[in-house]
Structure 1
Amino acid sequence: MRRKTGLAIAGAVTLAWCEWLNWRWSRTLVGNSGGTAEAVVVLGYRNPRAAANAVNRWRVRAGIRSIAAGGAHDTRVIFSGGATGGGVTEAQVMADYATSVLGFDGTVLLEDRSTTTWENITNVIPLLEDVDRIKIVSQPAHALKARAYLRRQRPDLAERLVRADDYRPGEWLIAKPLLALYGLWAVRGLDADERKVSL
């Protein structure tokens, strides 16, 4: 009985720690930039088939729910990702899912050349120059890594970063330990000042 209780407590502590890590990553390197013109950048995930996989479907939903209330007409959603296997790019797969399955009818832009997170950021920069607020959507650690890359490439644009709605308590609960391990690996190259919680 004690062993079962100990395992249950250890499991609960592990899940709480994983939730805290993802919460923390979602609130790092973001501010409170004002204005109405907004860009939501959704980063793609390896998608060898023409239909969106589970990760890309979730990222698209998180991107759409990240649009500020009442701001759909002033928001552009940028799907970023090149081809990683078949002929269809990650960007196109995500855009198709957003429009045909979710019925999104806002402004959609595609960045379909990048194959790394660094390239995602490099290639979307021209699409961000005239917006007031920038949200980057992915799993929280991956989004943090992308925000750090924007800060390195264009500090002036990084000042416009605000929090996306890509973290919700309990979401991906069963996978949170794996996501936390991946996250720790993903952010290992960030500097100490790139890991400070902003909000």
Structure 2
Amino acid sequence: MRRRTGLAVAGVAALVWGEWVNSRWSRALVGHSGGASEAVVVLGYRNPQTTANLINRWRVRAGIRSVVADGAHETRVIFSGGAIGGGASEAHLMADYAKTVLGFDGTVLLEEQSATTWENIANVIPLLEDVDRIKIASQPAHALKARAYLRRQRPDLAERLVRADDYRPGEWTVVKPLLALYGLWTLRGLKADERKVSS
């Protein structure tokens, strides 16, 4: 009985920790820029099949709900990700899912050359020059990594970063501890000031 109680407490603690860590990552390196125009950058995940996979479908949904979160009038959604194995690009598959399944009819741009997160950011920079606010949609750890990369590549554009709607309490709760552990590993190269949570 005592062992079961201990396991239950440990399980609840892991879930709470997963929520807390992902929430912090979603609020790191973002500000409160204003303005009428914004870009929502949706980062792709390796997708060898002919339709958007589970992770890319979730990222698209997070990106689309980020569009309506602040009611910006001039919003473009940029899907970023190259092709795996000669098939359609991640960007193309995500855009297709956004339009045909989610019914998104807003402005869509594709960046179809990137193979890494660093390249995602480098290749979307020309599409971000003229917007007032920038949101990056992915799992919170991955989005934070991308924001840190934008800060390294173009600190002036990083000043325009605002929070995307990519973290919601209770969403993916069961797997958030695993995502948090994986995130800690992928973010190990970030400096302390690149993990700073915005006030």
Give the aligned partner of residue 146 of structure 1.
146
More off after superposition, 128-137 vs 84-93: 84-93
Q: Which amino acid aligns with 1:186?
A: T
Give the aligned partner of residue 70 of structure 1.
71
CA drift at 1:36: 1.1
Runs of 4+ in 1 over 6 A off after TM superposition: none
Give the aligned partner of residue 56 of structure 2.
56
CA drift at 1:3: 0.9
The percent identity for this pair of structures is 79
Give the aligned partner of residue 47 of structure 1.
47
Map Cα deviations across residues 118-165 of structure 1 (whole Å, 9 max, x no partner): 000000000000000000000000000000000000000000000000
Q: Does 1:82 align with 2:79?
A: no
Q: What is the root-mean-square deviation in Å for CA atoms of aligned residues?
A: 0.9
Q: Distance in 2 between matches of 1:69 and 1:30?
A: 14
More off after superposition, 177-186 vs 104-113: 177-186
Give the TM-score normalised by structure 1. 0.97
Give the aligned partner of residue 168 of structure 2.
168
Map Cα deviations across residues 91-122 of structure 1 (whole Å, 9 max, x no partner): 00000000011100000000000000000000
CA drift at 1:85: 2.6
Give the secondary-structure state (helix, strand or coil) at the position aligned to 1:40: strand
More off after superposition, 178-187 vs 115-124: 178-187
Listed as ranges, the matches of 1:1-199 within 5 Å are 1-67=1-67, 68-71=69-72, 73-199=73-199
Q: Distance in 2 between matches of 1:174 and 1:21?
A: 14
CA drift at 1:69: 4.0
Map Cα deviations across residues 19-73 of structure 1 (whole Å, 9 max, x no partner): 11000000000000000100000000010011110000000000000014433x4
Give the secondary-structure state (helix, strand or coil) at the position aligned to 2:173: coil
More off after superposition, 124-133 vs 166-175: 166-175
Gaps of 5+ in 1: none
Give the TM-score normalised by structure 2. 0.97
